[in-house]
Amino acid sequence: MTDNTSETGRIGMTSRRGFLVGTGAAGITALAGCSAGGSDGPSGTIDASGSNTVAPITSWAGENFENEYPDVLVDVAPEGTGAGFQEFCRGNSAVQSASREITEDEIGLCEEEDVDYGFIEVGLDGLSVVKNSENDWVDNITLDELQQIWEFESDVETWSDVRSEWPDEDMELHARDDASGTFDYFTEAINGELGNIRDDYSATSQTNEIMNAVASNEHGFGWGGLGYLRAIEDDQPIEAVPVESDADGEFYLPEQENIEEGTYSPLARPLFAYINLASLEEEPDLIGSFARFYVNNQHDFARDEGFYATTDEAQEANHDKIDDWLDQVGSDPDDITVQRA
Amino acid sequence: MSTDTDDAPFAESEETPFTDIDLGWEHRKNRIFLGIIFAASMFGVVMLALLLLDVVTDFYRGQTEFGISLIDFFTRDGSRRQELAGFRGAIVASVMLMIFTAILAFFVGVGSAIYLEEYAPDNRVTRLIEANLANLAGVPSIVYGLLALAAFVNGIGLGPILLAGAIALALLVMPIIIVSTQEALRAVPDSMRNGSYATGATKWQTIRGVVLPAAMPGIMTGTILALARAIGETAPLIMVGALFTNRIAWGPFDRFSAMPTQIYNWAAEPEPHFIHLAATGIAVLLAFLFAMNGIAIYLRNKYERDL
């Protein structure tokens, strides 16, 4: 599958709120301030779209923000990065969680719809390659073997097709579908081209389903965001496979130190939140405060949800970006309720 | 044993034209058919029993293994933290959805049923309306969700608010209310109408004073059953844009997440704790359904005797 077909596929499966959009954006933004109460501080509704992987962090940030400012409602819809950008670039969401950077096609869509945006780096994710705990033959896997298994028109059907000493049994392959940034990241990092993947695996938009499928079948094999593995690995027969590092050729598990030190590579990736600058201009205190609040606590939010913290430099860079955006839309960063911590 | 008594006389009198028919086989077919249709009718009962057993087991495990406190469950809203998550906002939203759905669907539904049953002449237009109603009742619920999304959420810019969800549900249950109201009206004997006309009452006086009071228990029963269907609907609410984490909706213009949508979102979480929160939610939703069906059955039994 080429980059192009993957994009069309994504446009075809634009999610619920993007469907039949028309005049929707105006209505949603007009209503955003309606439930506002009388007390001080930010109030209104923040619609967030985006990555199924990053949504837990944004959702947790939103919930903490709601607890701090009761007049705010943050709704985070976890439809996948690609599907989410379709919403975001049409102005249907103010915040977009993303497990990869915006693509050329999406930049084009945003320009077409006149949506100006910026992004912050909110955490690091390890992409885990998972197998069933009953599987005692796979001790590690190289990047070439992963490509051999997953690339377009792959002829790998059984374990022994990968390494001859592995059993001659069919592999059951489970992974994300092309609505997700995880999909885009994996295909680019492993198969060398965004959207390049075999077409006969079980594709789903829910990482959950991948983990459950692999945990329930000895021959299950797949990949997905690490947070979902961490959530069930203590209760269910599923574990991560050590993957070859492109840094030093050794095999590493997706552990905190390996990811934060950069040896678990290329399957560790930065996670982003995109901010719609038109929404920021409309409600600088609401959106600006949320962005500031998110960045102030980003290390905690990421770790609370089973991800890894960015460097402190990345956090500072995020703060500087928010200052710039506020200047750009004509608001004084010092007037925003939530200040840089 | 009936086979034996049947077989015996034919074996003796060979000249009868039916000797070559094996009646024993015919009787066996009879019993096999009875067995099959009995199994078919039991299938639904067994499946319901399995479903309830599954819900009760998961509910019980949620209470014991995962320590889900019912008090917290009823007094907290949704949360990313599984131990802080509750169902309150979803219950409030579902109750409000029911109220607004009832208001929106009842008057239009009952009104059109009275027209069709009492006033409408039996012509092509009436038959067209009736055929359309029968078809509407079979339209998948997600289609009503898409209609509400296109026409109300985006079209007139209501946004994904509770009222938009209530409109979608009202559209969904209106055909059910119309059909059950028609049946209730039909059950009122013509002698009662004629008695009313004989006193000099007009048609509207007859309908208001005689027909509607007599049909009201049937209408109420049908309406409650229709609302019981609406409270469990998920797809139209997801289409309209229910929240992913339930928060209390204070009025019809607030964003919302109802019971079925919150259950759906919890069930998509990876942690087993959320799965059992979903199971607890299902138990609460089923309790609502049983209560509503119970009220409907009570109303039917109570007034059936009085009429």
Instruction: Give the model confidence (pLDDT) of A76-99 as tens digits.
Output: 988 889 999 999 999 989 999 998
Contact partners, residue A130, CB within 8 Å, separation at least 6 = A210, A211, A214, A220, A221, A222, A223, A224, A229, A238, A239, A240, A241
Task: Assign A176 to helix, strand or coil.
Answer: strand
Q: Quick one: which of A177, A161, A295 has its CA closest to A219?
A: A161
Q: Which chain B residue has its CA at the smallest distance from A229's CA?
A: B270
**CB–CB of B80 and A59 under 8 A?**
yes
Q: Return the number of CB contacts < 8 Å for A and B.
A: 83
Q: Quick one: which of A16, A94, A18 has its CA closest to A283?
A: A94
Domains of chain A: 3-124+270-335 (3.40.190.10), 125-268 (3.40.190.10)
pLDDT at A265 (0 to 100): 86
Task: Output the CA angle A143-A147-A152, nearest 5 degrees.
Answer: 170
Question: For the residues A296-300, what does the mean pLDDT come to?
Answer: 94
Q: Quick one: which of A117, A146, A100, A106 has its CA closest to A14?
A: A106
pLDDT at B14 (0 to 100): 54
Q: Parallel, antiparallel, or unpaired: how do β-strands A117-132 and A220-225 relate?
A: antiparallel
pLDDT at A247 (0 to 100): 85
Task: Output the CA angle A60-A63-A67, nearest 5 degrees.
Answer: 140
Instruction: Report the number of secondary-structure helices (H) and strands (E) in chain A.
Output: 14, 11
Please tell me whether the peptide bond between B260 and the residue prior to it is cis, using omega within 30 degrees of 0. no
Tell me: pLDDT of A74 over 90: yes
- Provide the shortest C-alpha distance from residue B67 to chain A (in Å): 16
Question: With contact defined as beta carbons under 8 Å apart, do A86 and A18 qualify?
Answer: yes
Distances from the Cα of B214 to the Cαs of A135, A254, B111, B198, B208, in angstroms? 70, 71, 16, 18, 10
Tell me: pLDDT of B307 over 60: no
B267 touches chain A (CB under 8 A): no
**CB–CB of A73 and B156 under 8 A?**
no
Q: Hey, where are the domains in chain B? A: 2-10+21-65, 74-306
Interface of B with A in 134-173 (CB under 8 A): 146, 149-150, 153-161
Residue-wise pLDDT for B57-95, tens only, equals: 999 999 999 888 999 999 999 998 888 999 999 999 999
**CB–CB of A16 and B241 under 8 A?**
yes
The number of residues making up chain A comes to 341
Q: Quick one: which of A238, A266, A242 has its CA closest to A255?
A: A242
Q: A101: which DSSP letter?
A: P
Dihedral over alpha carbons B107, B108, B112, B118 (to 10 degrees): 10
- % of chain A with per-residue pLDDT over 70: 89
- Provide the shortest C-alpha distance from residue B71 to chain A (in Å): 20
Query: Cα–Cα distance between B195 and A265 in angstroms, integer?
Result: 88
Question: For the residues B171-197, what does the mean pLDDT come to?
Answer: 94
pLDDT at A20 (0 to 100): 41
Query: Cα–Cα distance between A86 and A244 in angstroms, integer?
Result: 34
| Per-residue tokens: B69 | 């406190």
pTM over 0.80: no
pLDDT at B18 (0 to 100): 62
- Provide the shortest C-alpha distance from residue B262 to chain A (in Å): 13
Residue-wise pLDDT for B187-228, tens only, equals: 999 999 999 999 999 999 999 999 999 999 999 999 999 999
Query: Cα–Cα distance between A253 and A258 in angstroms, integer?
Result: 7
pLDDT at A182 (0 to 100): 86
Using a CB-CB cut-off of 8 Å, the residues of chain B touching A206 are 268
Using a CB-CB cut-off of 8 Å, the residues of chain B touching A208 are 268-270
* Matching residue, tokens 């309830």: B52
Contact partners, residue B27, CB within 8 Å, separation at least 6 = B2, B3, B6
Q: Parallel, antiparallel, or unpaired: how do β-strands A268-276 and A117-132 relate?
A: antiparallel
Question: With contact defined as beta carbons under 8 Å apart, do A207 and A53 qualify?
Answer: yes
Contact partners, residue A172, CB within 8 Å, separation at least 6 = A202, A213, A214, A217, A219, A220, A221
Domain range B74-306, CATH architecture: Orthogonal Bundle (1.10)
Question: For the residues B237-248, what does the mean pLDDT come to?
Answer: 90
Question: For the residues A218-238, what does the mean pLDDT come to?
Answer: 90
| Per-residue tokens: A53 | 């992987």
Instruction: Output the CA torsion sign for B138, B162, B247, B88.
Output: negative
**CB–CB of B79 and A63 under 8 A?**
yes
Distances from the Cα of B302 to the Cαs of B105, B181, B218, B288, B298, in angstroms? 25, 18, 11, 21, 6
- % of chain A with per-residue pLDDT over 90: 57
CB count within 10 Å of CB A51 equals: 32
- For residue B151, with 0-12 CB atoms within 10 Å meaning exposed, 13-18 middle and 19 or more buried, which class applies? middle
pLDDT at B219 (0 to 100): 94
**Helix, strand, coil percentages in chain A from 3-state DSSP, rounded to 5:** 40, 20, 40
B238 touches chain A (CB under 8 A): yes
Q: Which chain B residue has its CA at the smallest distance from A211's CA?
A: B270
Query: Cα–Cα distance between B97 and A82 in angstroms, integer?
Result: 32
The number of residues making up chain B comes to 307
The least confident of A211-215, B41-45, B79-83 is: B79-83
Question: With contact defined as beta carbons under 8 Å apart, do A3 and A197 qualify?
Answer: no
Query: Cα–Cα distance between A73 and B257 in angstroms, integer?
Result: 12
Nearest to A30 among B150, B157, B160 (CB): B157
- Provide the shortest C-alpha distance from residue B97 to chain A (in Å): 18
Q: What is the ipTM of this complex?
A: 0.75
Task: Output the CA angle B266-B268-B274, nearest 5 degrees.
Answer: 40
B271 touches chain A (CB under 8 A): yes
pLDDT at B306 (0 to 100): 55
B286 touches chain A (CB under 8 A): no
Tell me: pLDDT of B146 over 60: yes
Tell me: pLDDT of A22 over 70: no
Question: For the residues A207-219, what does the mean pLDDT come to?
Answer: 92
Question: For the residues A212-224, what does the mean pLDDT come to?
Answer: 94
Nearest to B247 among A19, A73, A77 (CB): A73
Query: Cα–Cα distance between A240 and A127 in angstroms, integer?
Result: 10
Tell me: pLDDT of B11 over 60: no
Phi-psi region of A330 (alpha: psi -120 to 50; beta: other; left: phi over 0): left
Strand-pair partners of A97: A50, A273
Using a CB-CB cut-off of 8 Å, the residues of chain A touching B158 are 27, 31
Mean pLDDT of chain A: 85
Nearest to A16 among B239, B255, B268 (CB): B239
Question: For the residues B237-253, what does the mean pLDDT come to?
Answer: 90
pLDDT at A23 (0 to 100): 38
Max Cα–Cα distance, chain A, nearest Å: 70
**B184: confidence class by pLDDT, cuts 50, 70, 90:** very high
